[in-house]
Amino acid sequence: MSAVPTPAASPWLEATVDEVQRHGPRALSLFLNSPLPPHQAGQHVDIRLVAEDGYEARRSYSIASAPGAARLELLIERLDNGEVSPYFHEVTVAGDVLELRGPIGGHFVWRASQPGPLLLVAGGSGIAPLMAMLRHRAATRAPVDTLLLYSARTWDELVYRDELAMMAAQDTRLHFTAVTTREPARRPGDFSQRLDRAALAAALQRWGRQPQDVYVCGATGFVETVAAALVDLGVPASSIRTERYGGLS
């Protein structure tokens, strides 16, 4: 197995923005023609922006595209008080050149050889690395029983919801449950509440499987709540991998 590049070891390289695709009111995907080495599902990259006066800002963004995809996809949620995300939402267009390095990360990685069952829990833009895992699972036709629980405030803020629904419709081993916290559920079996212990217990009971690999990604409070509830429900802490983001973007 080759070593996973770290930020210190990875050089900054230039990547061209091929497409900007908007998702609902607060998120977009940047599709990049990237010179980076191949990534694994769950890894991220660093982006560096340098202003004319020399001021520099760096942010990490998870990769949403599957390993081996022709373009690198990054999902960027706009934060109203953010320093960097408004730039991508208001300024960036196809043809722009960005500096990035990576791929980075080895702990929050899923491989198709892992037998599962696999539980994926996403909050907001935390869907990005889990989407890479699901796309990798589909591309490799990995026969892994999988449940995705994806929470957002509204139906329109569930990025990739149509692709996820199609994946689940075509694969009886994949179950996708949407969780909306500020509006009623749109589909039978979805939740319209916060993803607390009770909701997790109901989802796991309905799924009927004991997860062996668990990946949770989202805002810090969301991740801590979900991880603690899963342990309380009997999921071994050693099976749970978490990745969280703050409010600096």
Candidates 192, 181, 175, 174; CA nearest to 221 is 181
CB 182 within 8 A of CB 87: no
pLDDT on residue 3: 38
CA distance 144 to 85: 35
CA distance 179 to 148: 10
pLDDT on residue 56: 85
pLDDT on residue 61: 93
pLDDT on residue 80: 75
To the question of pTM greater than 0.85 for the whole model, the response is yes
Identify the helix (H) or strand (E) that includes residue 249: none
pLDDT tens track for 174-220? 999 999 999 998 899 899 989 999 999 999 999 999 999 999 999 99
- Under-70 pLDDT residues of the chain: 1-9, 246-249
